[in-house]
Each structure stands twice: as structure tokens, then as C-alpha cells.
Chain A
Amino acid sequence: MPDRSQAPLIKGIDQLKLPEPQKILLGNGVPMYILSMGRQEVCKLEIVFRAGRPYEHKQLVARATSALLREGTAHYTGRVIAEEMDYHGCSLKTPFNIDVTTITLYVVNKHLDKVLPMLAEVISAPSFPEKELRSFIQRNQQRLQIDLSKSDVLAYRKITELIFGEQHPYGYNSFAETYSLLQQEDLFQHFRRLHTSGNAVVFLSGKVDQDMIRRIDDTLSNAIKEGPTAEPWVPEINAQPQRLNISQKDSLQTAVRIGRRLFNRHHPDYAGGYVLNNLLGGYFGSRLMTNIRERHGYTYNIYSLVDPMVYDGGLYIGTEVSNEAVEDTLRQIHIELDRMRTELVSEEELEMVRNYTMGYLLSLLDGVFSMAEVIKTLYLDGLSVSFIDQLSEVIRNISAEELRELAQRYLRREDLWEVVVGPNV
């Protein structure tokens, strides 16, 4: 019979290995990073353009351009593209990201040849049909209408707008009118200016061989047009922190968002800030979760997160709480922030957050597609795989004093914005 009173010995994680991808230059000079691993005969091909919000000449055009890439090209209608991709068991997606536009193809290797010509058209010759654009606008306006009835959405929109500014690429919000202003020509301009070799990076991962690489090279070298590298537009920010209450009558819960500008991954405090955030609200055992949910039962969920973007970053605390508990929730959040600034974290808690964070990184590096995701994020940010080594170095060695110092630098009450949306505010 096992001795249940003793926990099995916990072994630390000191090996985190993100393999270096192979880099080649396509015929047109576009870099392609390749991670060849895995057992299943499948791969993921991602063509990324630096064509997100910081590069827009008109609000929402990045999103619209990316959404319409699959909806028709010089030779294929949207229907034919959808049909062929599905027929070959592929998935062609254009997921939204604030900084970049991505065309992602998941494909079973044996079908790669059959879909490459169509992928080439999606990349090189989208036709942005007027009818599809109108329909995109109409669908998104309706989705927006539904989103705006949710208090958490209202709170998130407001706080990012306040922190970054309502014209800033990271701060502006979509409105029905912003959608209405989109014209077909805006999409063509955005596409011609930005979906070019000077702004492109390609990532290939999965069980890939030299022959596949060669065929992908042939396809993309022709499909991605030559063009210069564009400059982003990221205006100066000098907003002062403020508190704002928005009344939403009949809401059964109150949404709370507290946040501030932080930094991107290049900042010397990024790694420390990453650990600090986990301690505060980044995992189930965090201070906020333990206090607001597990001790008081005010909410189903409370979190804090660091949101690094290419040119800036943010830190947010978010929760939906019982209307009766709003005041005390705010008080308790500030008590936790005060503790972070004034008290030293115990060795025991520090060890837990360290180990949890290392385990989390390990799980991020689980499987070839997950690794490729991390590689993509780092390389698009001008970093390399050694970033993971530096990050894990900090996680393993950061001291209680350093964490308190970071809290004193980044979690001061006077630097925090606060938005509360609910019936009694």
C-alpha cells in the first residue's frame, strides 16, 4: 500500500529545447523557416505578410483584405476554392492577428500538389468581389451588434481604446460605420502595397521532405510579387490613466477590466514581467484566482494577462463578477496589487509559479505544430530560438526581491486604467 501522506518527489524541469528551424531563401528572396519533424504525414504552411493594423491606410482594411483572400481569384470563384480545399482534406485559413496577415494551409502531404496551384492564386491574384465585400460588411456589422450587448466586450473595447488611443492601430475599435466605409479599392491597394516579397515570411512545419520544399519554393517564388518593405505607422502615446464606469442596465454580472500599457518582447523586463503576471493572475493558483474565486466565490473566472504585440504591449486584469460583489472585488484586486508591491513572495509560492511556468512552456513546445507556432511568433518579432533559453533562465532564477521591484515599477495604482461595466455603476 503506498504512503499517501507523502507526495511523490517532484522533479524540476530544466530542459526546454526549441529546435532551430532551417532557413532557406525562396527564389524571390523571401525567407522560409522549416521545422521538419513529426510522424503523421501532414504539414502546415504559413505565408505571413507584415500587413496588419500598423500598416493600414484605412481602419479595418487589414481584416477585410485577409478575410476576402479565399473568396475569389482571377480564375477561381470562392465556391470552387472552398470545394477543392475540402475535397482534398485541406484547411485554408486566414486567422486574424493585429500585426500580421497570415494564410495558413493545413494539408495531408499526399494532397499538397493538388492544392498548390490554387494556393498560388489566393496569394497572387485575389479578386475581392464586390458582392463578397458587401456580405462581409453586413455579417460583421451584425456580429458587432451582438458583441456590443456583452458587458465583457464593452469593457475590453473601452480599456484598449483608452490606453492606446482611439486612432491608434492597437486602440481603435470597429463600429458599424467603420465597416461601411470600406471600399473594394481599399482592399486592392492594401494588397498591392503589402502582400509582397519585402513584407513576407514563410513558415513550414510537419513531416516535410526536400521534394516538398522544392515544390513549395517554386510555387511561392512566383506567387508572391516583388515589392518593397513597408513602414508601420505607430503613433506616440501620452494618455493618462483614468477610471470609467459604463452603465448597462439589466446585466446580471458586472465586467471589470484593469490594465496598462506594458512592453513588447524586446524589453529587458519582459521575462520578469511574464513571471510577475503569472503570480498575479496567470494560472489557477494565482493570487487573483485564489482570492476572488476560491476564497470569495465572486466570480467563475478572473485572470491577468500580458499581451505583447510587435510595437507595444499591454497588461490586463479581467473578470465578470456578481453585481453585489463589485465593490469588494475591486478592493480585493487592489489589496493583491498592494501585496505584490510591498511583500516578498514566499519561497514556496515562488517555486510553484516557477515550476508551473516551466511546465507551461514545455507544453507550448509539445508537438511540431506547437513548436512552429512559437518559432513564428519569435521570428516575426525579430527574435530567435535563444529567446526561450533566456526566458527559462529568468523563470528559474528570478528572486522574490526582483519580483517585488517589478511590481513596484509596473503595478502602481496610479498607472492603471479601470473600466467597469454593469447595472449599478
Chain B
Amino acid sequence: MVNYSKFVLDNGLRVVIHPDDSTPMVAVNILYNVGARDESPDKTGLAHLFEHLMFGGSENIEDFDDPIQRAGGENNAFTNNDITNFYDIIPAQNLEVALWLESDRMLSLSFDEQVLDVQRKVVIEEFKESCLNQPYGDVWHHIADMAYKVHPYQWPTIGKVPKHVEDATMDDVKDFYRKFYNPNNAILTLAGNVSVEKGRELVEKWFGDIPPGITPTRTLPQEPPQKKLQQRINQAKVPVDALYLAFHSPGRSEADFYVSDLLSDILGNGSSARLYRKLLKEQQIVNQIDCYVTGSMDPGLFIIEARPAEGHTLEEVEKLIWAELELIRNELVSERELQKLKNKIESTLLFSEMSVLNKAMNLAFFELLGDAGIINEEAQMYHRISREEVRDMARKIFTPENCNELYYKVSQATA
């Protein structure tokens, strides 16, 4: 059970405080409700580039990292398709330093040409390091491009191409800041060794006078149902072939998201999961197999990825995966198997409550979904799921028409 208190400042900043005196630290998390899905198709990667610029100094602070390190803290951030999330973990006695820093960059970021110039280069190196120079590193570019024809999930957070990042101008980033980096577009959570009263007092002190902006409206084109199987073969300089199947599945805010998540656990989570047992252990036709949902806000993807063992082909592997999918479409999972998954989820949630940073991030994310209190209801949501619902979800998702099939193959030229 995560106890918390929440309130909204006059400027629209939503605040959630979770006191936990078992730790000497406080985690400060600020979620801005902006991600790669809010970019325009010819300027992708901007949300993520902007995340980098947030460390380049603000009106009263030359360098963000300097004071936080001086205060014994650590900080970082991540961007995904939906959100940009910043966090600091700091000794409780220095909590105010983190709030001073976070509020200053929310109020007034410095826009230094030099910073923009360097961070463009840094992000391009990140693009190479994480995507272009990694075996299978561009797989998300392919999957997103195949699965989404109109929705902006069609490009990955890092950007469609490095050129978009290279071309980002000072005007682009200033507009982005004005539009999205306002208190009324953010959620602040504190979790750790701080009382609700003290936390509230400090938050009001540092964030209370930041003027609100115009609340951005989001009208994204929704992806129409896929009508037929999409297939792609990509040849690249990789050592072994790999298979990716991506099925459209519910988004995070839909009621049956939890069913799809549980379904992915049945098939792919842990060493007793079906696909792992059957294909990797019993038949030994794959060396690696994974299965997960993307968990995005708008309808997401249910991914199955596998690498064939030596002497086996992608076609063979795919056929056996489909046999397992057929099985779960046709036969109810046993009570015991369903109970196993629920027990597993219950313990995962229990263990995740041991980290204040986890709690701070989750509270912010759930508040974005509609209510921080979901953090205490998740176990129940999984618990309520019936065998029939699992089967029905499998029937809904696992059809060829709903599938994007990517064969990632060893390029003949370099093999």
C-alpha cells in the first residue's frame, strides 16, 4: 500500500507526495506531458533532443548538474513516445536544492546556441550508439513504420533519421518549450523521507509563482484497424537472423490493457512461460525468445521476438509460434496457470514498492493516466482477470490481419 497525498497548485501543477521514512533519500520526479507523438513528422526526435537541453542551464542556474552533485544527488531523464520524465534522487536534507533546480528550468530555460550545438552532436552519437551501430539497433524504426500508418508512433523517440536532429533550430526548441514546458502540463511527485506538510510547503514556495501556459490540446490521428498482414524482410549486417511479430494491442488507458499484459506474461515472462518452455527448452529451435507489450498511452503493440537456433529458419520458428498462439486462442488457460501469473504479478508489485524512485515515477505516470491511486489498485485489476478474458484477448490480437511480420536477415553480401 502506497500512501500519498495529492493537490493542484493555482497554476495547474499537479503534485503527489508519498512520505516514506525508511529511506534517507527523496526522489523528485517531474513528468511533462509531451513525447515523440507530439512531434511533427518532418521534425522528429525533438522531444528527446529537448530533454538534453533541459540540462543546459536556466535563468538563475548556469549548469543543472553542478548543484545537484554538490548536494549529493543524482539525476537523469528519459523520453518516450508519450512523456518526458525527469528525476532527481537526493539526500532528504537537500530536497530544497532539487526543487530550486527543477522550478528554475520550468520557469525559464536559457537558450544557449552553444548548448544546442553540442547537444545536437551528442544526440547524433546517441543515435549511432543505440540504433545505427548496434546489431538489430534499427528494429524499432522498422516495426513502428510498419505498424503505424497515420499515428505518430510511426517514428521512434530518438527520431526518424539523424538529419531531423541535425536540422533542429533554436526557434523549434523555443516553441517546444513555450508550448509544453508549463506547470499545467506537468506532474510533480516527491517520494521518500519528507512529510506531506513540509513537501507541500517547499513545492508551493518554489513552483507556486510559475505562470501557467496555454494547456496544449492533443488531437492525434488514431490508427485505423489494420486490415491485412504486413510483411517485411530487412537485410542487414547482423550475425544471425531474427524474427519480430508485432500485433496491435490495447493502450495503457484502456480497460483491457491488463489482460493483454497478463497474456504477454503467460507467453513470455520468465523461465516457465509458454514460448520459452516450448520453443527454447523443449524443441530447442530458438536461442532467444521474448514477448512483451509496449504499454503506450494510445493503442500499442504486442511484440514477440525470436532468434532461431543454428540450423533452423525464421519460417520454421514463426510456424511454431503461431501454433502456440492458436493454442491460447482455442483453449482456456488452466486455473493453476492463471493463478501462477497472478502470484507472480503480486510479488513483482510488492518488490517494486521497495524503491522510492520507482514509486515516484509510477505515481506520476498513474496520475497522468487519471489517478495516482491506480498504484494501489493494480494488483486487483490483474486479480479480476478471468480465463475467458485471456482467451478472448488472444482471439482479438493474434490474427494474421493484425500482425506485422519482420524478418531481419543476415545480409547475403556480408555473410
Q: CB within 8 Å of B: which residues of A? A: 1-2, 4-5, 7-8, 10-13, 38-42, 70, 78-79, 82-83, 85-91, 106, 108, 111, 135, 138-139, 142-143, 145-146, 148-151, 250-253, 283-285, 293-301, 320-322, 351-353, 355-356, 358-360, 362-363, 365-369
- Tell yes or no: B313 within 8 A of A by CB: no
**0/1 interface trace, chain B 101-131, chain A, CB 8 Å (1 if under):** 0011001000000000111111111101110
Question: Please, how many angstroms separate the alpha-carbon atoms of A150 and B346 in the complex?
Answer: 38
B183 to chain A, nearest CB (A): 15
Contact between B309 and A42, CB atoms less than 8 A apart: no
Contact between B125 and A320, CB atoms less than 8 A apart: yes
| Chain B: number of interface residues, binned into ranges | 35 or more
**B118 contacts which chain A residues (CB < 8 A)?**
294-297
- Tell yes or no: B5 within 8 A of A by CB: no
**0/1 interface trace, chain B 87-107, chain A, CB 8 Å (1 if under):** 001110110110010011001
**B134 contacts which chain A residues (CB < 8 A)?**
150
Contact between A363 and B100, CB atoms less than 8 A apart: no
> Which residues in chain B, 331-368, are within 8 Å of chain A measured between CB atoms?
336, 339-340, 343-344, 346-348, 350-351, 353-356
Contact between A89 and B347, CB atoms less than 8 A apart: yes
Question: Please, how many angstroms separate the alpha-carbon atoms of A148 and B239 in the complex?
Answer: 9
* Contact of B100 (CB < 8 Å), options: A7, A284, A351: A7
Question: Please, how many angstroms separate the alpha-carbon atoms of A339 and B270 in the complex?
Answer: 49
- Tell yes or no: B9 within 8 A of A by CB: no
**B91 contacts which chain A residues (CB < 8 A)?**
11, 13, 359, 362
Question: Please, how many angstroms separate the alpha-carbon atoms of A335 and B114 in the complex?
Answer: 22
Q: A86-B272, A285-B65 are in contact. Are A301 and B129 (CB under 8 A)?
A: yes
A4, A41, A79, A90, most chain B CB atoms within 10 A: A4
Q: CB within 8 Å of A: which residues of B? A: 22-25, 59-61, 65-67, 69-74, 89-91, 93-94, 96-97, 100, 103-104, 107, 117-126, 128-130, 132-135, 205-206, 209, 237-240, 270-272, 277, 280-281, 284, 287-288, 307, 309-310, 336, 339-340, 343-344, 346-348, 350-351, 353-356
Question: Please, how many angstroms separate the alpha-carbon atoms of A360 and B119 in the complex?
Answer: 26
Extra contacts, 10 of them, besides A143-B287, A352-B66 (Cβ < 8 A), are A1-B209, A111-B343, A138-B284, A139-B288, A142-B287, A253-B128, A320-B128, A352-B70, A358-B72, A367-B355
B105 to chain A, nearest CB (A): 11
* Contact of A356 (CB < 8 Å), options: B24, B69, B129, B272: B69
**A39 contacts which chain B residues (CB < 8 A)?**
22
Question: Please, how many angstroms separate the alpha-carbon atoms of A83 and B66 in the complex?
Answer: 49
A40 to chain B, nearest CB (A): 5
* Contact of A250 (CB < 8 Å), options: B22, B128, B237, B355: B237
Contact between B22 and A38, CB atoms less than 8 A apart: yes
Contact between B24 and A362, CB atoms less than 8 A apart: yes
**A295 contacts which chain B residues (CB < 8 A)?**
118
* Contact of B270 (CB < 8 Å), options: A82, A253, A301: A82
Contact between B122 and A293, CB atoms less than 8 A apart: yes
A34 to chain B, nearest CB (A): 18
A71 to chain B, nearest CB (A): 9
**B238 contacts which chain A residues (CB < 8 A)?**
146, 149
* Contact of B97 (CB < 8 Å), options: A10, A90, A283: A10
A374 to chain B, nearest CB (A): 14
Q: Would you list the 8 A-B pairs with minimal beta carbon distance, nearest first?
A: A359-B72, A297-B121, A89-B347, A300-B126, A82-B272, A8-B96, A82-B271, A297-B118
Contact between B69 and A285, CB atoms less than 8 A apart: yes
Contact between A251 and B133, CB atoms less than 8 A apart: yes
List the B residue with the shortest CB-CB distance to A278: B69
Contact between B129 and A253, CB atoms less than 8 A apart: yes
* Contact of B129 (CB < 8 Å), options: A83, A300, A369: A300
Contact between A7 and B133, CB atoms less than 8 A apart: no
**A301 contacts which chain B residues (CB < 8 A)?**
129
Question: Please, how many angstroms separate the alpha-carbon atoms of A10 and B310 in the complex?
Answer: 58
Question: Please, how many angstroms separate the alpha-carbon atoms of A295 and B119 in the complex?
Answer: 9
* Contact of B74 (CB < 8 Å), options: A8, A83, A353, A359: A359
**B240 contacts which chain A residues (CB < 8 A)?**
142, 145-146
Question: Please, how many angstroms separate the alpha-carbon atoms of A250 and B238 in the complex?
Answer: 12
A-B contact pairs, 15 of them (CB 8 A): A2-B209, A4-B100, A4-B103, A8-B96, A38-B354, A86-B271, A135-B280, A146-B135, A252-B132, A297-B118, A297-B122, A298-B125, A359-B90, A362-B72, A367-B22
B67 to chain A, nearest CB (A): 6
Question: Please, how many angstroms separate the alpha-carbon atoms of A145 and B23 in the complex?
Answer: 43
Question: Please, how many angstroms separate the alpha-carbon atoms of A251 and B206 in the complex?
Answer: 47
A379 to chain B, nearest CB (A): 22
**A13 contacts which chain B residues (CB < 8 A)?**
72, 91, 93
**A12 contacts which chain B residues (CB < 8 A)?**
72
Question: Please, how many angstroms separate the alpha-carbon atoms of A353 and B117 in the complex?
Answer: 27
Contact between B205 and A2, CB atoms less than 8 A apart: yes
* Contact of B135 (CB < 8 Å), options: A2, A149, A320: A149
Question: Please, how many angstroms separate the alpha-carbon atoms of A68 and B90 in the complex?
Answer: 41
**B120 contacts which chain A residues (CB < 8 A)?**
297
Contact between A138 and B310, CB atoms less than 8 A apart: yes
List the A residue with the shortest CB-CB distance to B130: A300
**A293 contacts which chain B residues (CB < 8 A)?**
122
**B237 contacts which chain A residues (CB < 8 A)?**
149, 250
Contact between A89 and B271, CB atoms less than 8 A apart: no
